[in-house]
Amino acid sequence: MSSYKTFQFTSVETSYEDVAKDLGTASNQDLASTEGLPEEDITTFSLWLKSELSSGISKVQISKRLKDEPAVIFGQMSASMRAFMMMMEQQGMSQPGQDQALRNNTLEINPRHAVIRKLNELRKKDSKKAAKLAKSLYDNVMLS
């Protein structure tokens, strides 16, 4: 069932661009106009986050849809399948190619969220602590 009356159902794990394309409501919201990461920090922060979390993600993108959450992860497989594959890996029962499938995820960050802004500030001051917090953020996003 993909719709009910006039409402369209969309998976929460679908990227914003896919949802906007399906609904025909693509918007060009200017992220710099809202209080968030400084424009000059967005690219460097995204690249830093991608390098710190390279074992679990392949891409970092700026969210246009998140309001209250700092980040969300989506990819080719559902959250339940990712959790199952991670459990299999922890038990030593992983399959060939499973590592690549787990890394084929996109981390979508909310540049206006306080956690992301503070993580960017910490990255500039103490990169080792920021790296630990980035991994903690990733773990929390994977759980939700």
pLDDT digits (tens, 9 = 90+) for 40-53: 999 999 999 999 99
Give the model's pLDDT for residue 33.
Answer: 41
What is the DSSP code (8-state) at residue 3? E
- pLDDT band for 30, please (50, 70, 90 cuts): very low
Contacts of 109 (CB under 8 A, 6+ apart): 46, 49, 60, 61, 62, 63, 66, 70, 71, 116
Distance CA 136, CA 88 (A): 21
Domains and CATH numbers, the chain: 12-143 (1.20.120.790)
Question: What is the model's pLDDT at position 18?
Answer: 63
Which band of pLDDT confidence, cut at 50, 70 and 90, is reported for residue 99?
low
Question: What is the pLDDT confidence band of residue 105, given thresholds at 50, 70 and 90?
Answer: confident
pTM for the whole structure: 0.64
Confidence of residue 97 (pLDDT cuts 50, 70, 90): low
Q: What is the pLDDT of residue 23?
A: 58
**Average pLDDT of the chain, as a whole number:** 79
Residue 12's pLDDT is what? Answer: 62
